[in-house]
Amino acid sequence: MALLVQKYGGTSVADADRIRAVAEHISFTKRQGHDVIAVVSAMGKDTDGLIALAREVSSVHPGREMDMLLTAGERKSMSLLCMALADMDVSAKSFTGSQVGIITDNDHGRAKILEVKGDRVRDAISEGTVCVVAGFQGQSLEREITTLGRGGSDTTAVALAAALDADVCEIYTDVTGVFSADPRICPRARKLGRISFDEMLEMAATGGRVLALRSVEFARNHNVDLHVRSSFTWEPGTWVTAEEGSMEEPIISGVTHDLTEAKVTITNVPDRPGVAASIVRALADAGVNIDMIVQSTSVDAKTDMSFTLPKTEVTASQSVLDDLAREFEGGTISQESDIAKVSLVGAGMKSSPGIAATMFETLANEGINIQMISTSTIRISVIVDAAECDVAVQRLHAAFGLDAVDVYSAPLPERK
Ligand code: ADP
Ligand code: ASP
Ligand code: MG
């Protein structure tokens, strides 16, 4: 008998039929003799719908009120799932994040988990009851309701699995595992049987949204094994564990893409010590997370600086950037949002020269221009035009020998 945390994402609980299918699976797991903690996301695109509604109602979105609003999405799915379980004679109770003691900091919209108390979950489990927990939410030390950032239900699941010492944390989603590229844009992507935390971290950080980045960090720090699998086919999926790859594994594990970033360029930046620091500091103080940074060669003691940032933070960066441009004589700011970050990830890269050369040649052969480049020991990322993203992913996938013989065949639910 094992303790399983099962997380069900938005498409897995998108409508009444899906909720009943999930309840059936939980009932089946219980009948196998296991204890279950189910963590649920909001139904389908409910979170997006609530955000759109907030925009319609007002141009002002205080973090506290946004979190109050967004946590309503997960409340709907947790209670409906418990009703479906009751219909199958399975004893189940729903809990909000605050009820199970997910304690966070007070950073609304992207709160970090500080502690998981979990007493009510422990009690319910010891009575043989299935716990259904609302994902993506917690309560701050100031007793405010918080959310953990988009995709945060993955993090709730991993945090509960760590706190309750679960045997495994299963992440049920709409694809059959972690693939060598997003099967939605690369039909020849292959399912990985296993991937290490380090590689998964790089994939999640560069757009492989199948797992939220924070959840992988949490899993690595607390050594929680993850099993990413489909709630449509229920077949075995991908294990994400601490284990490093074996010698026969390919040098490159995957190609990721990210369309959520924008590029900002500041011109006429004085080329002297402290200027780059002041730009980055001003943005950090405004809560803006910048990613790839490129500075051009200095001409007449002036340079241009470009960096990427999440599209959602462009507005927050606006006034900071305008102030900076005014400070630099002749300084201008330009923004481009039609960009894509395409990355190659693979632990084998460390010991294999020539990866970057093959990557750049492959893109050049397609006439794709590289706007920015950044690397880590196990990743190379480039910024290209958004319109060239799919072709770039597909060609790189083929060039590094990752193409599967068969095209992806499991059902891919439509995303409205
Ligand atoms: P959920 O709502 O279940 O949390 P997500 O949309 O967050 O689902 O994540 C699943 C989606 O991640 C898939 O539908 C797929 O399009 C996308 N995805 C991106 N990269 C990958 C990858 N490398 N492997 C698998 N899925 C990926
Ligand atoms: N419902 C939230 C979102 O859409 C959290 C999640 O699904 O993980 O981001
Ligand atoms: Mg997700």
- Residue 413 forms part of a structural domain: no
CATH number at residue 55: 3.40.1160.10
Written as tens digits, the pLDDT of the chain (416 aa) is 899 999 999 999 999 999 999 999 999 999 999 999 999 999 999 999 999 999 999 999 999 999 999 999 999 999 999 999 999 999 999 999 999 999 999 999 999 999 999 999 999 999 999 999 999 999 999 999 999 999 999 999 999 999 999 999 999 999 999 999 999 999 999 999 999 999 999 999 999 889 999 999 999 999 999 999 999 999 999 999 998 755 456 789 999 999 999 999 999 888 888 888 989 999 999 889 899 999 888 888 889 999 999 998 888 888 888 888 888 888 889 999 999 999 999 988 888 889 999 999 999 999 999 999 999 999 999 999 999 999 999 999 999 999 998 888 887 887 65
- Residue 340 forms part of a structural domain: no
Ligand 2 contact via 42 beta carbon (within 6 Å): yes
- Residue 91 forms part of a structural domain: yes
Ligand 2 contact via 44 beta carbon (within 6 Å): no
Ligand 2 contact via 173 beta carbon (within 6 Å): no
- Residue 20 forms part of a structural domain: yes
Token duo for residue 302: 């002036």
Residue 100 burial class via C-beta count within 10 angstroms: exposed 0-12, middle 13-18, buried 19 and up: buried
Mutate which of 6, 153, 155, 174 for ligand 1 pocket (most atoms within 8 A of beta carbon):
174
Helices (runs of H) and strands (runs of E) counted in the chain: 11, 20
Instruction: Tell me the C-alpha distance between 243 and 221, whole Å.
Output: 14
- Residue 276 forms part of a structural domain: no
Ligand 1 contact via 41 beta carbon (within 6 Å): yes
Ligand 2 contact via 109 beta carbon (within 6 Å): no
Domain holding 157, by residue range, is 3-174
- Residue 304 forms part of a structural domain: no
pLDDT at 329: 80
- Residue 206 forms part of a structural domain: no
Ligand nearest to the CA of 78: 2
User: Which atom number of ligand 2 is nearest to the Cα of residue 152?
Assistant: 8
Residue 250 Cα, ligand 2 centroid: separation in angstroms? Answer: 32
pLDDT at 247: 47
Sheet strand arrangement including 254-258: 254-258, 339-345, 379-385, 372-376
**Domains in the chain, number:** 1
Residue 152: name the closest of 333, 28, 9 by CA: 9
pLDDT at 246: 53
Residue 394 Cα, ligand 3 centroid: separation in angstroms? Answer: 23
pLDDT at 71: 98
- Residue 68 forms part of a structural domain: yes
User: Which atom number of ligand 2 is nearest to the Cα of residue 151?
Assistant: 8
Residue 86 Cα, ligand 3 centroid: separation in angstroms? Answer: 27
